[in-house]
Structures are given as C-alpha cells and as structure tokens.
Amino acid sequence: MSRDIDVTEEVRALARLDLEGLRQAWRDAFGEPPATRSVELLRLCLAWRLQAGEHGGLDAGLRRRLRDASAPASPPLGEGARILKEWGGALHQVDRTAGGFLWEGRTYPSLSKVAEVMTGVKRNGPRFFGLREGTPR
C-alpha cells in the first residue's frame, strides 16, 4: 500500500512541472521522452506510465478490443452495390449480391477473396477496392 501512496504523490507532483521538468521526469523513469511539446499530453502520458508500471497496464484482451474498435470501418455495401476497379489494364466490376460478391461470373464470400483471386496475392479487400477512409480510389 505504501507504494500506491508513492505513485499517487509522484502523479500529483507532475502538476507542478513545466515541459522541461516533465521531460526530465520521463528521462529519469523511462529514458528519452516523446517529442511532444504539449505539457498536458506529456503530463498525462507520464502519469499513465507511472501508474501502469505500478498497477499493470492494459491486459491483452482490452488492448485487442481497443485496437479493433479503432480500425477504420468499411462502409456497408448493400445488395446491388457495384464496385469498379481498374487493375492490370482492365476495368473489373464486382457486384454485391445476397450470397456475397460476384466477379466474373463467380460468387466469393468477401471482397478480400475477390482481391486475392484477382491479383494472386492475399489483400485487404476493402482497402484494395478503395473503401477504407484515406485509401486512393
């Protein structure tokens, strides 16, 4: 319990430090500090690291859920949606059907499978077809 009090006091003491003081506290505890110039962000990161070091960080399951939740979602494609993709010098048409994705007369369970068959390489289908935010179309 006494270590809990020490960490609490260390975190409270961060409120009195300026940017250089926070950087020095980070160096003392963890090595080279991040390049941020935000006093508030560095204070929060340092407080979290100190507390996580004492009480444990995020467990693997929670880290995985957070990572999955932050992944950009593909827009939903309803039945009848049509995707056009230029690849290998040809324009390819993929249609969304009730059973999956129709390309060249064959239905596939996912866009990733279509992209794999089309290119011969495993690919992220929504990214390949330009359906992910920040992906060229």
pLDDT in tens, 22-77: 999 999 999 999 999 999 999 999 999 999 999 888 898 988 888 877 766 666 78
Distance (Å, whole) CA 108 – CA 101: 5
Total domain count, the chain: 2
**Confidence category of residue 3, pLDDT binned at 50, 70, 90:** low
Same domain, 96 and 123: yes
Question: What pLDDT is recorded for position 47?
Answer: 95
Is 86 found in the same domain as 64? no
Residues 96 and 58 in one domain: no
Q: Are residues 52 and 100 in the same domain?
A: no
- Considering the domain architecture, whether residues 15 and 57 belong to the same structural domain is answered as yes
Cα 35 from chain centre: 21
What is the per-residue pLDDT across 96-108, written as a single tens digit (0 to 9) for each? 999 999 999 999 9
What pLDDT sits at residue 115?
A: 96
Q: Are residues 10 and 61 in the same domain?
A: yes
Residue 34 lies in a domain: yes
Same domain as 86, residue 47: no
* More confidently predicted of 104 and 4: 104
| Domain extent for 94 | 82-128
Same domain assignment for residues 87 and 108: yes
Q: Which of 110, 135, 136, 137 is nearest to 125 (CA)?
A: 110
Do residues 88 and 37 both lie within one domain? no
CA angle 76, 82, 108 (to 5 degrees): 75
Q: Kindly report the three-state secondary structure assignment for every residue of 41-89.
A: HHHHHHHHHHHHHHHCCCCHHHHHHHHHHHCCCCCCCCCCCEEEEEECC
Across the range 100-124, mean pLDDT stands at: 95
Answer yes or no: do 19 and 55 share one domain: yes
User: What pLDDT, on a 0 to 100 scale, did the predictor assign at position 1?
Assistant: 41
Least confident window among 29-43, 78-92, 119-133 = 119-133
